[in-house]
Amino acid sequence: MAEILVVGYGNDLRSDDGAGRVVASRIEALDLPGAHVRSQSQLTPELALEITRADVVVFVDANVDCKEMAVHPIQAGERGTQSMSHHTDPAALLLLAADLGRGPPRAYTASIPATNLELGFDLSPATAAAVEEAVEAIIGIVSGEPGP
Amino acid sequence: MGIPPALPVRTSGLGEEDRTVKNMVVIDPVTRIEGHAKITIALDDSGLVSDCRFHVTEFRGFEEFCVGRPVWEMPSLTARTCGICPVSHLLASAKAGDAIMGVKIPDTAVKLRRIVNLGQIIQSHALSFFHLSAPDLLLGLDSDPAVRNVFGLMAEEPELARRGIMLRSFGQGVIESIAGRKVHSPGILPGGIAEQMTEETRERLIEGLVEAKKTAEDALVLFTGMLDTFDREVRAFGSFPSLYLGLSNDDGLWEHYDGYLKMVDAEGATVASGVAPADYRSIIGEAGRRDSYLKSPYYKPNVGPDDDPVDGMYRVGPLARLNVCERMGVPAADEALAEYRERAGGVASSSFFYHYARLIEILGATERMADHLADDTVTGPHVRAYAGVNQHHAVGASEAPRGTLFHEYHVDDHGVLTDVNMIIATGQNNLPMNETVLQIAKEWIDGPSIPEGILNRIEAGIRAYDPCLSCSTHAIGMMPLVVSLVAPDGEVLSEVRRG
């Protein structure tokens, strides 16, 4: 069985910005076989260790630049173009994971459209709908459907 | 809240006489630190360094946000001050809450809080050393900046980098195990800890300590082995006399959670001791500077009304803690401390030794944690005390990885905050960071041509303090501000000043 790591990240005090974490909690509640879930405020370097143990990784984050939920394959970043401090980004984490041992055969980003980043816990209707789509897409990936 | 436009650094930061300086070098942004800052170096007409400033250019205002909130929320709220060392804020806030409630928390809760703080110190120091500073130390300060990062380190020293990440992961795991989450953990509360530790967790942490301690020991061997090659950096990276502040205890042991305030001077002589954290204002004053959103705390007895706060400059953090304590109180770290003091010639006055001190603290933290975990009472069920508001004013203090952290609260009868003051470690190192930048610039810059490696040394001098600017830039209403409306031809149309 493929080991799948779902990483939802964002600020859950900033309305739509917490959408990735809402997805993470929804996936965790489903207790899907082979799925491991991380819900974090930000991506931190040690996540690379968990990525080395996964066959598939899905990074789920809110995105103010996208209009609809989108899942895209992502590759490790190119050496020399990445930096890292206390937090990082998916491409850099994949590169670090590759350096640590192996990167996952497949990695995706799931971008959830966000419009309201004000203080609050509630998702705007469009973001809430996109969360459902992301959950369905991740269920598909977990169940072995080929990704986009 | 957005970040206001940058202050007019040149005209407000360096003084009236410097407005005529023709040459200026700006490093913006400073990399591999947490937050946003820039450094301004002013050269005189002959190309020599005349002044330097480390400007923190982000603004957050957390203290004002907290007023009107219940004290019970403060650990969670203030942990949001920083995603880097939230445990430190959780602990200082919870301790202030303990004092507002007027309770003595259960012994098991004290042990668990100590363990979680040790985990915090390990993870934070591991990231500072292995991820942020090791590229400078191992690849060289003059190496290609494109690879002078953790990825370059991974290519050159894969095993070291891997173990550094593992060490950081271990520390994060300790936090998650006890406090519930790695970041913004919910399990540290006024009155104690939310949940008791299970035997399974205890055994898992004991198991993980073996590798963590070995990594710290090996990193110390590596660091001391290359220290001689950084002789010039040791002499010029913030090597100057200053005061040092840290928590202390009656046994003279390295302290990270409780005790009283102790200040020592450049010779190691005690200048203040036995000061309760609640009385911190008796020895610490806070000044604002025109060119930074970072406050500048100073040792109050050394600074008269008309004096520059730099007269009361002190350092906090690993360097200070090792200067304040008599010994670590655990065998391997004490052995390392003895060698450290021998190499430093007694009191360590070079900020380059912050790196060295961090490694000793990681080692000591693993030993201390092992001692706590060996105590069967650590899994005891009594982890929280309950009470209402019994005091209207309290101060909580603990040692964050970067230095002593203070949370001071005033509350009403219902526990609602009426005033908040936080003194953050990075702020306390603001004055020495400025001095460090100036010393490095004067050591290496002697003309208008400044190689990248020299700029990196200046950044590395700041990085030695491992500053966390996100949580240290929250003074609102204290920052002297100058807002100028300037016409295209340079004419100042109007100017508003505060402070």
Q: Write the CATH number for B354.
A: 1.10.645.10
Cα–Cα distances (Å) from B375 to B8, B107, B199, B211, B379, in that order, read: 56, 11, 12, 20, 9
Look at residue A34 and tell me if it is in a domain.
yes
Predicted-complex ipTM score: 0.73
What whole-number distance in Å separates Cα of residue A16 and Cα of residue A119? Answer: 9
A75 contact B CB<8A = no
What whole-number distance in Å separates Cα of residue B8 and Cα of residue A135? Answer: 48
Look at residue A65 and tell me if it is in a domain.
yes
Nearest to B132 among A46, A85, A99 (CB): A85
One domain for residues B370 and B462? no
One domain for residues B138 and B220? yes
One domain for residues B119 and B229? yes
Tell which B residues from 149 to 178 touch A, by Cβ distance under 8 Å: 149-151, 154-155, 158, 161-162, 165-166, 168-169, 172
Written as six digits, the tokens of B203 are 């055994």
One domain for residues B49 and B112? no
What whole-number distance in Å separates Cα of residue B327 and Cα of residue B131? Answer: 28
Look at residue B83 and tell me if it is in a domain.
no
| Domain membership of residue A24 as a residue range | 4-142
A100–B151 C-beta distance less than 8 A? no
One domain for residues B180 and B52? no
One domain for residues B373 and B494? no
User: What pLDDT sits at residue B58?
Assistant: 53
Identify any residues that bridge with B298 across adjacent strands, giving them in sequence order: B285
User: What pLDDT sits at residue B302?
Assistant: 95
Cα–Cα distances (Å) from B409 to A8, B76, B276, B359, B497, in that order, read: 34, 15, 15, 34, 29
- How many domains, chain A? 1
> Judging by DSSP bridges, how do beta strands B417-423 and B403-411 pair with one another?
antiparallel
Cα–Cα distances (Å) from B359 to B129, B210, B247, in that order, read: 8, 16, 19
Look at residue A148 and tell me if it is in a domain.
no
B147–A85 C-beta distance less than 8 A? no
Choosing from B381, B397, B428, the residue where a domain stops is: B381
In order, the DSSP letters of B52-72 are EEEEE-----HHHHHTTSBGG
Written as six digits, the tokens of B3 are 């970040």
Tell which A residues from 104 to 133 touch B, by Cβ distance under 8 Å: none
B149–A83 C-beta distance less than 8 A? yes
Look at residue A18 and tell me if it is in a domain.
yes
A7 contact B CB<8A = no
One domain for residues B54 and B108? no
The CB-side HSE value for A107 (13 A sphere, CA atoms) comes to 23
Find the DSSP H helices in A3-124: 19-30, 47-52, 90-100
- Identify the CA nearest to B299 among candidates B323, B258, B257, B271: B271
B127–A86 C-beta distance less than 8 A? yes
What whole-number distance in Å separates Cα of residue B353 and Cα of residue B323? Answer: 11
Look at residue A147 and tell me if it is in a domain.
no
Q: CATH number for the domain including A30?
A: 3.40.50.1450
Find the DSSP H helices in B227-259: 231-236
Contacts of B80 in chain A (CB under 8 A): 13
What whole-number distance in Å separates Cα of residue A118 and Cα of residue B69? Answer: 19
DSSP B326: S
List the single range of A31-40, A96-105, B212-221, B443-452 with lowest mean pLDDT. Answer: B443-452
Backbone region of residue B229 per phi and psi (left: phi > 0; alpha: psi in -120 to 50; beta: other values): alpha
One domain for residues B115 and B192? yes
Written as six digits, the tokens of B64 are 């004002």
Look at residue A29 and tell me if it is in a domain.
yes
Q: Which residues of B95-125 are buried (b: 16+ CB within 10 A; e: fewer)?
A: bbbbbbbebebbebbbbbbbbbbbbbbbbbb
| Domain membership of residue B38 as a residue range | 9-58+450-498
One domain for residues B373 and B488? no
Preferred mutation among B153, B165, B182, B426 to probe A, highest tally of A CBs within 10 A: B165
Single-letter amino acid, residue B148: R
Single-letter amino acid, residue A128: A
Residue by residue, pLDDT tens for chain B (499 residues) are 222 233 332 222 333 333 333 455 666 655 555 555 667 777 777 767 777 767 665 555 677 778 999 999 888 887 766 656 678 889 999 999 999 999 999 999 999 999 999 999 999 999 889 988 888 888 888 887 777 777 888 888 888 888 999 999 999 999 999 988 655 667 899 999 999 999 999 999 999 999 999 999 999 999 999 999 999 999 999 999 999 999 999 999 999 999 999 999 999 999 999 999 999 999 999 887 766 677 789 999 999 988 889 999 999 999 999 999 999 999 999 999 999 999 999 999 999 999 999 999 999 999 999 999 999 999 999 999 999 999 999 999 999 999 999 999 999 999 999 999 888 888 899 899 989 988 988 888 776 666 667 777 877 888 899 887 544 443 333 333 333 323 344 443 334 343 3
User: What pLDDT sits at residue A82?
Assistant: 56
In order, the DSSP letters of B448-477 are S---HHHHHHHHHHHHTT--B-TTT----S
One domain for residues B230 and B354? yes
> Judging by DSSP bridges, how do beta strands A35-40 and A4-9 pair with one another?
parallel
Preferred mutation among B69, B143, B151, B157 to probe A, highest tally of A CBs within 10 A: B151
Single-letter amino acid, residue B277: P
How far apart are the CA of A145 and the nearest CA of chain B, in angstroms? 32
Look at residue B185 and tell me if it is in a domain.
yes
Look at residue B355 and tell me if it is in a domain.
yes
B131 contact A CB<8A = yes
Q: In what side-by-side order are the strands of the sheet with A106-113?
A: A35-40, A4-9, A56-63, A106-113, A70-73
DSSP B101: H
One domain for residues B194 and B138? yes
One domain for residues B46 and B115? no
Nearest to B84 among A86, A95, A99 (CB): A86
The CB-side HSE value for B247 (13 A sphere, CA atoms) comes to 21
- How many domains, chain B? 2
Preferred mutation among B150, B172, B174, B462 to probe A, highest tally of A CBs within 10 A: B150
**Smallest CA–CA distance from A40 into chain B, residue:** B183
pLDDT > 90 in chain A, percent: 56
Look at residue B52 and tell me if it is in a domain.
yes
State pLDDT tens for residues A106-136.
899 999 999 999 888 899 999 999 999 999 9
Look at residue B315 and tell me if it is in a domain.
no
Preferred mutation among A46, A88, A102 to probe B, highest tally of B CBs within 10 A: A46
